[in-house]
Amino acid sequence: MASEEPERRPLLAATSGALDAGVAGADTRQRTDSGEEGRGATGTFKRNLGTLEAFAIVISIVIGSGVFTSPGSIDTNVPSPGAALLIWFVGGVLAWTGASTMAELGTAIPGEGGVQPYLKYIFGDVFGFLAAWTWVVAVMPATLAILSIVFVESIYSAAGVTDQGGTLLHKLLSIVVLSVISVANSISTKASTRLNNFFVVTKFVTIAAIVFAGVVVVILQLVDRNRTVGGGDWVKQPWFGYRDSANPDGSVTHWADVTQWELFGYLSAALYAALWAYSGWDKAIYISAELSSPARQLPLAINTSIPTIILCFITANAAYYILLPWNVVSRTDSVAVTAITRLLGPAFGILAAVLICLVVAGSLLGNSFVAGRMAVAAANQSWLPKPLSIVGRIGFKPEERETTSDAPVNAIIVSTILSSLYILLGNFRVLLTFNGLGEYTFFFLTVVGAIVLRYREPQLARPYKPLIAIPIVFALVSGFVVVRGAVFAPIPAVVLVGLWAAGLVFYFVRRRYQERGLE
């Protein structure tokens, strides 16, 4: 019996249990996809979500603060606006390769909780636990903390205040915003997805308004070439020609004097900022257990949402370069508000800030939605305390009678508490690096696992199977992101390693306790 336990099997070795799970997963998919409703399938949540809901959740999570705050940091690290747009395109394609690989695993290996079931299946129980532990105690709380801080910062920026991020009032307001979103997610899955759909519309409206403003400026400039409207540089300077970059600290980068090695470092930093803006591309797999037909709906949701996001990001950034002088783009962290304010005045700048707040609120809602489900999946694996798997109510013991809600209330409360601690103890830049290191470490392991699985279990049913080059490209990039982040930010890396060590202690102590309980 003990020899069959997944945590004790050799790493990278196939087991009969694993193969049985794959067959069972394939059988379940066949029943579901053929129209035999997944209500009878095992799992914590009902299979009541469709492609549109999955599409909306990915859109809502990914289109957040990044497209409105990252352009400045990307522009600082590239020699031309054209290069910046290429970085946005490359970042989107890389996110797409990662999402496609996750879709392959999501349709081949059944389970709740995103990457945890895949790592458990491929590498063993300990790896699955560490992924769950990292997401529950580090990645998702840090993400929610970042978005809450950005929400409040947008309000401050609209009022012309930009130096209050470290104050207690700013932090407390961030916690209030987070708490409101958590309450909204505690009602029910349907209520959350309906509210999420509203935020998705808001996101498209905001980006469409920015792009429309850019188009209007282009038309006015073409009609009267002597007229001064918008930034002006877009029509006077070459989009791919070297131009000196003005940095936020007042220094200037002379790109003609930069060596090839230095240029590589700058471009790497720009790509890192773009990947942050695209973060959230993996979140569709977190609700694969709630899709009525995941083998069909998951790839469809990913292959429609990610290209849509890439298009939105590139057109919005092109509009920024049309609306603003190019030396302004690199020096602001609120590029959208700055652009609208310069074009239409302070009143419209405030309106832009309000819309961006709604966009960030949508990302908060989507990430909070996912965070609770991550904890539930980990509790169902007995990695975390069982009360975290309870849905529909607050408490320590599940009730036998049905509840009107299917929201993981206990898990949402724990996530809110952890996120509040990150808000109080951290700041935007540190949390951003910490979050990226945690995420991409396990993205790297998961995608490498997908490559290993192609050769270890070629017979595994894969309803969606992208070219092998896709996971290989993403593995190389994600590995680079982790190494670069650890080298340039050693303190968050050490904290993350410390959390992993604490997690391993928790894992083995809990397993010993469970074994004694069985005896």
For residue 336, being part of any structural domain is answered with: yes
- Give the amino acid at 116: Q
Does 28 fall in a domain? no
* Tokens standing for residue 303: 């292959």
Residue 375, domain member (yes or no):
yes
Helix H or strand E encompassing 165: none
10 Å CB burial of residue 512 (0-12, 13-18, 19+) is exposed
In degrees to the nearest 10, what's the CA dihedral of 370, 373, 375, 379? Answer: -170
Q: Domain count of the chain?
A: 1
Q: Name 246's bridge partners.
A: 252
Separation between Cα atoms, residue 393 and residue 390, nearest integer Å: 7
C-alpha distances out from residue 469 to 135, 169, 302, 440, 472, Å: 27, 49, 18, 19, 5
Number of Cβ atoms within 10 Å of the Cβ of 248: 12
Q: 4 lies in a domain?
A: no
Report d(CA 375, CA 417) in Å as an integer.
Answer: 13
Q: Residue 347 class from Cβ within 10 Å (0-12 exposed, 13-18 middle, 19+ buried)?
A: exposed
Beta-bridge partner residues of 438: none
Does some domain include residue 15? no
Whole-model pTM? Answer: 0.75
Q: What is the rounded CA–CA span in Å between residue 433 and residue 130?
A: 19
Q: What are phi and psi of 291, to 5 degrees?
A: -80, 140
Instruction: Count Cα atoms within 13 angstroms, Cβ side, for 14.
Output: 14
Assigned domain for 1 exists: no
Question: Is 12 within a domain?
Answer: no
Tens place of pLDDT per residue across the chain (519 aa)? 333 343 333 333 333 333 344 433 434 433 334 333 333 344 555 665 677 777 877 887 788 777 887 888 888 889 999 999 999 999 999 989 988 888 888 888 876 667 888 999 999 999 999 999 999 999 999 989 988 988 887 777 667 665 666 788 989 999 999 999 888 877 766 666 677 677 778 888 888 888 998 999 899 888 887 777 777 888 888 999 888 887 766 778 888 888 888 888 788 878 878 887 888 787 767 666 667 777 777 788 888 889 999 999 999 999 999 998 888 887 776 788 788 887 788 888 888 888 888 888 887 887 887 788 788 888 888 888 888 888 766 766 666 555 556 678 888 899 999 999 999 988 877 887 888 889 889 999 999 999 999 999 999 988 888 899 999 999 998 898 888 888 878 888 999 999 999 999 999 998 888 777 654
CATH code of 354's domain = 1.20.1740.10
Instruction: Count other C-beta atoms under 10 Å from residue 495's C-beta.
Output: 17
Taking the C-alpha atoms of residue 91 and residue 389, their distance in angstroms, rounded to an integer, is: 35
Q: Which domain holds residue 136?
A: 51-518
Question: Is 86 domain-assigned?
Answer: yes
Count of alpha carbons within 13 angstroms of residue 427, beta-carbon side: 8
List Cα–Cα distances, 402 to 46, 124, 339, 397, in angstroms. 13, 34, 51, 13
* DSSP 8-state class, residue 245: E
Of 272, 184, 443, 1, nearest to 9 by C-alpha is 1
